[in-house]
Amino acid sequence: MFVNDCLNTNEKGHLTIGGCDTVELAKEYGTPLYVLDETTIRNTIRSYVSSFNKFYDGNGMPLYASKALSCKELCRIAKEENIGLDVVSGGEIYTALQAGFPMEKVHFHGNNKTEDEIRFALKSKVGKFVVDNLYELELLNKIAGEMNIKADISFRIKPGVDAHTHNFIRTGQIDSKFGFALETGEAFEAVKEALKLDNVCLKELHCHIGSQIFDIEPFVTAAEIMIDFMAKIKSELGAVISELNLGGGFGIMYTSDDEPVPYENYMDKVSVAVKAKCAEHGLPVPFIYIEPGRSVVGEAGITLYTVGGKKEIPNVRTYVSIDGGMTDNIRYALYQSAYTVVNASKADKPADEIVTIAGKCCESGDLVQEHTKVADVQVGDILAVLSTGAYNYSMASNYNRIPRPAIVMVKDGKSRVIVKRESYEDIVRNDV
Ligand code: LLP
């Protein structure tokens, strides 16, 4: 009935997640509230791991792209499931450290790593630096030298593949702020440069073509282009690069219009292409990484809100006001992202009222969804927005000095707080 497997309806007609009644969760922890289903997260990670076993004989590893939702508990889960982590800032490194994450399994991304972040990452023994540009390469080589460390690096390459997704979340094409372009020769020159440097060791190539992608074809094309490039490096420079990171970007279901591809299908098709290309060039099959973020946590999460008011504007629309909005979910304001909204208090009733869900910020664009169908909304009802596990909490803000909601993890009918709700005290903590 629902787009996400962890959701159901109970005998009271309430929406449940991971066996917990969402109306009860709202009562116990307050709203707005992010809720995550642990079983869904772990099962998704396991499906990636088992695909690596099946299609690459275990010669690969998923890295959880923690930008989708970075907090200590998610790092702990990634650690327990024996996968790696993709981080993009000192803050994400710090979170991993605080969670006791094995730092050798951390890949450090970002198009403008600061000197401080590079030092911090080297000191923290981060496993790999995914180098974005020549300035960074030289800076890293210099700092690593000063610290007497040889840093393992990867290069972020723009394979020139155009993935069909929202403009702001497309990254593989030449006009992208991320990485080295292949077409212009920039990437090849950078590899030559890296091979000359003493304090870095080029172990891996990386590409990431975008996010929320449903087609398998662009992933296959990107993998083939990357292996062709590895072959060029071997034949022209004599260097064998033994690892290949194919990025993240796998689409999830936000509404019934979305049709995600099972990860196995993706892994199957890409692995066939990888092996064929390696055979063609006489290259050993590299160790493969992928970096799923959204697909690990997205469908596992929902956000609960309390309806505070309803404004019917005749012949225009009906606004339903909730106690959160763009501060906890900016994705509609930013990308016009589609979401499924469920009246969690009446989850067994037909969704036949068309409403616009408005947040509480001083901003007309603070909407979570427009003209969406929900069952008979009344003041006091609990609304659930589905598939909010990724890029919601991680993109949250304190606009209008609104505290960030708590995150509750549910599993088999039990719930626990994994991130506390911010207090007003937290809001002024850094004010002097
Ligand atoms: N690897 C790299 C290098 C990335 O840049 C990203 C996402 C990922 C992995 C993970 O991609 P995923 O599997 O989550 O699609 N804020 C946007 C999404 C931005 C994605 C940025 N990079 C949104 O809310 O849709």
CB 178 within 8 A of CB 156: yes
Domains and CATH numbers, the chain: 7-30+300-427 (2.40.37.10), 38-296 (3.20.20.10)
Q: What distance in angstroms lies between residue 166's CA and the mean position of ligand 1's atoms?
A: 12
Amino acid 136: pLDDT: 97
Cβ-proximal residues to 331 (8 Å cutoff; 6+ apart), any chain: 337, 339, 391, 392, 395
Q: How confident is the model at residue 400 (pLDDT cuts 50, 70, 90)?
A: very high
Q: Above 60 in pLDDT, residue 2?
A: yes
Closest ligand 1 atom to residue 206 Cα is: 3
Amino acid 168: pLDDT: 52
325 token code pair? 């909005």
Distance CA 365, CA 385 (A): 18
Task: Give the mean model confidence (pLDDT) for residues 325-341.
Answer: 98
**What is the maximum alpha-carbon separation in the chain?**
72
Q: Above 70 in pLDDT, residue 83?
A: yes
Nearest CA to ligand 1 atom 7: 211
Q: Above 80 in pLDDT, residue 167?
A: no
Nearest CA to ligand 1 atom 6: 248
Instruction: Indicate the average pLDDT of the chain.
Output: 95
Element (H, E) at 354: strand 353-358
Q: What distance in angstroms lies between residue 124's CA and the mean position of ligand 1's atoms?
A: 24
Amino acid 414: pLDDT: 98
What residues are in contact with ligand 1 under a 6 Å CB criterion? 65, 67-68, 86, 109, 169, 208, 211-212, 247-250, 291-295, 331, 390-391
Distance CA 417, CA 65 (A): 22
Closest ligand 1 atom to residue 298 Cα is: 14
Q: Above 60 in pLDDT, residue 376?
A: yes
Which of 99, 55, 103, 47 shows the shortest CA–CA distance to 292? 47
CB 273 within 8 A of CB 289: no
Q: Above 80 in pLDDT, residue 163?
A: no
* H-state helical runs in 107-216: 115-123, 134-146, 186-196
Q: How confident is the model at residue 126 (pLDDT cuts 50, 70, 90)?
A: very high
pLDDT tens digits, one per residue of 225-259 = 999 999 999 999 999 999 999 999 999 999 999 99
Q: Above 70 in pLDDT, residue 164?
A: no
Cα radius of gyration rounded to whole Å, the chain:
23
266 token code pair? 């993706």
What are the catalytic residues? Answer: 362
Closest ligand 1 atom to residue 292 Cα is: 13
Amino acid 15: pLDDT: 98
pLDDT tens digits, one per residue of 280-320 = 999 999 999 999 999 999 999 999 999 999 999 999 999 99
Amino acid 176: pLDDT: 77
| Dihedral sign from CA coordinates of 192, 195, 198, 203 | positive
Q: Above 90 in pLDDT, residue 169?
A: no
Residue 26 exposure: Cα atoms within 13 Å on the Cβ side: 23
Rounded (to 5) percent helix, strand, coil in the chain:
35, 25, 40
* H-state helical runs in 238-289: 263-281
